[in-house]
C-alpha cells in the first residue's frame, strides 16, 4: 500500500541505519551485536526505510503500535509500504516464526493483515491504516458503521472457527481488532492455536455485544438485547453451524 496523501505529511522517512531508529530496532535496551544482526535481517527483507509516525509514542518517537512482544512501525520495501513488527529484546519468545505459522493459517482463511515475509526478529505484513476498536468505539460512531464493523468482525471469526484456528485473545478484544472505515481487521495471532476448541465467534461476540467497555459503547449506538445475544452465543458455542451463526448476526 502506498502512503496516502492524507498521512504522508505526518510520517517521516528514515534510512534503516538512522541513529533515530536504533532504540526502536532493539527496544528496550540497545545491543550492538543484535542491532547489526537486525540491520542484516532488514536488508534480507528488502526493507530500505522506516517511517516514524502513528498513534503511539515510544521514547519520544511516534510509531504505529506497541505490545509486549513487538513494536510496530511502517516500513518501505521495494515500492510498497508495510507494517513491520519488530521482536522486543525482552519478548517471551526467541523468534517470530511460531506467530507467523499461525498468522499464515489465518491468512489462508482470509483473515488478518496479509503476510509478506519474515525473519527471526521481524514480520513484514500489510499495513492497516486504522485504529484499535476501543479508540474507534470511543469516537462518534454511526449505527450503520457499527453494524458493518460488527458483521465484518464476526464473519472473520466465523471463518477462523471454520478453519480450526482459535485466536485466543478475542475475549480481550480492545487491542486485537483494528477498525478502518466500515471494515475491521483481526490482528496478532501469537496466542492462536489449532489444538484448542475454537471460540472466536463466542469470545468476540461476548466482548462486542454482552460485556466490557467496547460492548457498552457499541450497544449504546446499536441496541441489541443482551439476553438474546447470550442465548444465541450459547447455542452457537455448542453447535457451530452457519444457521446458528446467522441467528446471532440477525440480532445486530
Binding partner at 127 among Mg ion, ligand ATP, none, C-beta below 5 to 8 Å by kind? ligand ATP
Which cell numbers in the block locate residue 4?
Answer: 496516502
Least Cβ distance, residue 225 to ligand ATP (angstroms): 31
> Binding mask 135-174 vs ligand ATP (x if CB under 6 A, - otherwise)?
----------------------------------------
Neighbour-count burial of 103, counting CB atoms closer than 10 A to its CB (0-12 exposed, 13-18 middle, 19+ buried):
buried
Stretch of 42-50, 120-128, 151-159, 207-215 lying at the interface with ligand ATP (CB under 6 A): 120-128
Find the angle CA(220)-CA(229)-CA(204) to the nearest 5 degrees: 80
**Is residue 85 within the footprint of ligand ATP (CB under 6 A)?**
yes
Least Cβ distance, residue 240 to ligand ATP (angstroms): 26
Cα 88 → chain centroid: 17
**Is residue 72 within the footprint of ligand ATP (CB under 6 A)?**
yes
Q: How far apart are the C-alpha atoms of 220 and 69, rounded to whole Å?
A: 34
Stretch of 30-38, 61-69, 199-207, 209-217 lying at the interface with ligand ATP (CB under 6 A): 61-69
Of the candidates 84, 215, 81, 227, which has an alpha carbon nearest to the alpha carbon of residue 153?
A: 215
At 186, phi and psi to the nearest 5?
-80, 135
Task: Note the residues at the interface with ligand ATP (CB under 6 A).
Answer: 64-70, 72, 83, 85, 113, 125-128, 132, 175, 187-188, 190
Amino acid at each position: 500500500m502506498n502512503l496516502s496523501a492524507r498521512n504522508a505529511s505526518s510520517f517521516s522517512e528514515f534510512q534503516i541505519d538512522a541513529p533515530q531508529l536504533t532504540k526502536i530496532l532493539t527496544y528496550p535496551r540497545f545491543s550492538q551485536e543484535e542491532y547489526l544482526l537486525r540491520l542484516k535481517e532488514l536488508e534480507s527483507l528488502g526493507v530500505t526505510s522506516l517511517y516514524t509516525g502513528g498513534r503511539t509514542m515510544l521514547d519520544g518517537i511516534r510509531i504505529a503500535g506497541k505490545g509486549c512482544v513487538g513494536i510496530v512501525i511502517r516500513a518501505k520495501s521495494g515500492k510498497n509500504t508495510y507494517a513491520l513488527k519488530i521482536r522486543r529484546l525482552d519478548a517471551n519468545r526467541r523468534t517470530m516464526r511460531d506467530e507467523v505459522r499461525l498468522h499464515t493459517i489465518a491468512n489462508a482463511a482470509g483473515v488478518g493483515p496479509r503476510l509478506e515475509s519474515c525473519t527471526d526478529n521481524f514480520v513484514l505484513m500489510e499495513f492497516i491504516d486504522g485504529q484499535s476498536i476501543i479508540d474507534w468505539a470511543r469516537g462518534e460512531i454511526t449505527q450503520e458503521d457499527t453494524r458493518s464493523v460488527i458483521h465484518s468482525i464476526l464473519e472473520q471469526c466465523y471463518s477462523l472457527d471454520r478453519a480450526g484456528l482459535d485466536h485466543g485473545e478475542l475475549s480481550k478484544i480492545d487491542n486485537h481488532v483494528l477498525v478502518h472505515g466500515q471494515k475491521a481487521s483481526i490482528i496478532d495471532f501469537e496466542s492462536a492455536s489449532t489444538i484448542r476448541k475454537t471460540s472466536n465467534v463466542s469470545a468476540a461476540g461476548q466482548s462486542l455485544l454482552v460485556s466490557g467497555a467496547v460492548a457498552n459503547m457499541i450497544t449504546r449506538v446499536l441496541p441489541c438485547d443482551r439476553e438474546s445475544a447470550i442465548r444465541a452465543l450459547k447455542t452457537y458455542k455448542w453447535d457451530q453451524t452457519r444457521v446458528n451463526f446467522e441467528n446471532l448476526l440477525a440480532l445486530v
